[in-house]
Structure 1
Amino acid sequence: MKNHKVKWGIIGLGNIAHQFAADLLLIEDAELTAAASRDLYKANEFAEKIKAVKAYDSYDLLFKDPEIDIVYIATPHNSHAELSIKALENGKHVLCEKPMSLSYKDAVRIIEASKKHNIFFMEAFWTRFIPSVQDILQKVNHGAIGNVNYIKADFAFHGSETENKRLFDKELGGGALFDIGVYPLFLSYLLLGYPKEIAAKAIKHKNDIDLQTSMILQYESAQAVLHASIVSESDMKATIGGTEGRIELNAPWYAADGYSLFKNEEKEAAFSLPALGKGYSHEIIECHKCILNNEIESRLWSHQNCLDLSRIVEEIKTQIGLKF
């Protein structure tokens, strides 16, 4: 594959797929080869809009297309596990939207399939690869704010049951935790690792999905105070506090175009680190690098990282009584 473009197929053609496809067009060695939807009209419309070569009305047809190197899965959450495994079984590398599954058990099955078939798999945690997050991680690891002992992060917005039906649909894995709660959990895990204890409380919808969930992750000498909501708003900044200062990621922190460094309550420096396109481009570049190096996982967001985060989410799911 060293001398030709990495050929992508996209399945699940909603809003995120459109944003992802726009970023894919910014990457020189990427080609959007095919798009698939269960609705051929939708597939054709998408393919025409983002200049894909082929359109399919079946995911299986796309998986069987010998031209495609890697599949981006952007279908509803409840189908991620089965479609990831099917793509891997068909010899396709996979970038699967988060959450990679609705249960830890299914997350394990996906990673086992990746290892069994020796094919690359990554959960699409694009925030991990944006310049701001890469940079703060480096600064924190080099002791810029001393020992991290506090993280505050939330992801909240006002969703509408009429406009955001998927978000409120229990069958599709809707609710705050799986859709957006994974982001603050990811930040805490990235900076502090696996917690010693987890405490979570939720406010539920009448159909039993969580409308908002608050979480505390307890570490040896640190705490992360995290929140996710699809019925309220927040400033969506994130604070990383340490023994010698703090870092504040610009809002919305999960797509931060920069951050500020504070010492003794004074702003010491502000850093501007805009992403390429919407920011999905950076995870695309990582996928290419791994595939070209014949690696089945990323060192920046590894199989173990995927599994750890899935296990944290599973614990919260149990505590708040979410059942899919």
Structure 2
Amino acid sequence: MENRKIKWGIVGLGNIAHQFAADLLLIEDAELAAVSSRDIFKADEFASKYNVSKRYNSYEALFADEDVDVVYIATPHDSHAELSIQALENGKHVLCEKPIALSYKDAQRMIEASKKHNKFFMEAFWARFIPAVQDVLAKTQNGIIGDVNYIKADFAFVGSETENIRLFDKNRGGGALFDIGVYPLFLSYIMFGIPKEIIAKSIYYKNGIDLQTSMILQYENAQAVLHSSIVSESDMKAQIGGTKGRIELNSPWFMADGYSVFKNEEKEAVFTLPTLGKGYSHEIIECNNCILNNQIESKLWSHQNSLDLSEIVEEIKTQIRLPF
């Protein structure tokens, strides 16, 4: 394995990019080499905050920078596909923020571009890499709670039309399903795989996006009851039930610092597994390792995993008639 720093570029400098950049600074073999925003003042401010020497006011300029190894796409959902493909065409590895795209066809195009140009590509499902989720997945597969047959998971908060404009913007792929509904769907997928049947119902905003969506996923011997909302709160714990007990991931479960195991309604064990930084660090480490080992995909969150999840989301999008 090469002993060198992987040089990162960030495209799109909103809130999530700030959290990602802070975690990137914690990784020894990673360096934030360049950032880009359509607004050069935003790029200057971001670059100064994280001590980045290069800042651009066009995404294309960052893609053309020969010093950048891998690009983190942190723009709104509607631009994920085109920007990822453009970066791959420019010889960059890509970590694209979830959801991978607003359609299954676009997700396919992104994966094809990764293979064509032989460059690493991964959807940034950071929850897949945090220690608590990894440990729960391993323990359930080893039978700690028997045969797993039930999941209950929410992701909900009260968004503001003035502060979270993107969330309510139809043109940017706003709404509950694509922004946060993909998280509980992801948990069900890594536990059970692709469902046999999906039932989804939504409450809508005036422009047709979903304000909240509830989903039941039916499997051969299991069910997942999932919910996402940008207009209500929930405890955001995730419960995983089996024939010999249940697991409860700490709230908020998608960045949990641990979990509890219950048997016969008694708390049998508590596991504490804190994240490094906010938790984006774990997916950064995975990307670096894959790139250094000349892999174009992660074994933990593969191209096929992203395509499978995108297909599940596409079915729900069709059921609830989202206008994307």
Instruction: Give TM-score, length-normalised by structure 1.
Output: 0.99
SS where residue 155 of structure 1 aligns?
A: strand
Paired residues, what number?
Answer: 324
Report the Cα distance in structure 2 between the residues aligned to 1:161 and 1:62, rounded to whole angstroms.
Answer: 31
Per-residue deviation, 1:52: 1.1
Per-residue deviation, 1:68: 0.4
Asked if 1:154 corresponds to 2:154, the answer is yes
Alignment of 1:6-45 (within 5 A): 6-45=6-45
Report the Cα distance in structure 1 between the residues aligned to 2:99 and 2:235, rounded to whole angstroms.
Answer: 23
User: Please, what is the CA RMSD of the aligned residues?
Assistant: 0.6
Report the Cα distance in structure 2 between the residues aligned to 1:244 and 1:39, rounded to whole angstroms.
Answer: 55
Q: In structure 1, what is the equivalent of residue 254 of structure 2?
A: 254
Asked if 1:304 corresponds to 2:301, the answer is no
Report the Cα distance in structure 2 between the residues aligned to 1:161 and 1:43, rounded to whole angstroms.
Answer: 25
One-letter code aligned to 1:270: V
One-letter code aligned to 2:248: E
SS where residue 282 of structure 2 aligns?
A: helix
Per-residue deviation, 1:3: 3.0
Structure 2: 5+ residue stretches without partners = none
Report the Cα distance in structure 2 between the residues aligned to 1:154 and 1:12, rounded to whole angstroms.
Answer: 27
One-letter code aligned to 1:204: Y
Identity %: 78
SS where residue 154 of structure 1 aligns?
A: strand
Report the Cα distance in structure 2 between the residues aligned to 1:68 and 1:199, rounded to whole angstroms.
Answer: 43
Alignment of 1:51-200 (within 5 A): 51-200=51-200
Per-residue deviation, 1:38: 0.6
Q: In structure 1, what is the equivalent of residue 274 of structure 2?
A: 274
Report the Cα distance in structure 2 between the residues aligned to 1:90 and 1:141, rounded to whole angstroms.
Answer: 40
Report the Cα distance in structure 1 between the residues aligned to 2:34 and 2:51, rounded to whole angstroms.
Answer: 9
SS where residue 170 of structure 2 aligns?
A: coil
Report the Cα distance in structure 1 between the residues aligned to 2:99 and 2:134, rounded to whole angstroms.
Answer: 21
Alignment of 1:194-213 (within 5 A): 194-213=194-213
SS where residue 267 of structure 1 aligns?
A: strand
Per-residue deviation, 1:4: 2.0
Per-residue deviation, 1:51: 1.1
Deviations 1:90-117 (A, max 9, x none): 0000000000100000000000000011
Q: In structure 1, what is the equivalent of residue 237 of structure 2?
A: 237
Report the Cα distance in structure 2 between the residues aligned to 1:75 and 1:159, rounded to whole angstroms.
Answer: 19
Deviations 1:3-56 (A, max 9, x none): 321000000000000000000000001000000001111111100101112000
SS where residue 171 of structure 1 aligns?
A: helix
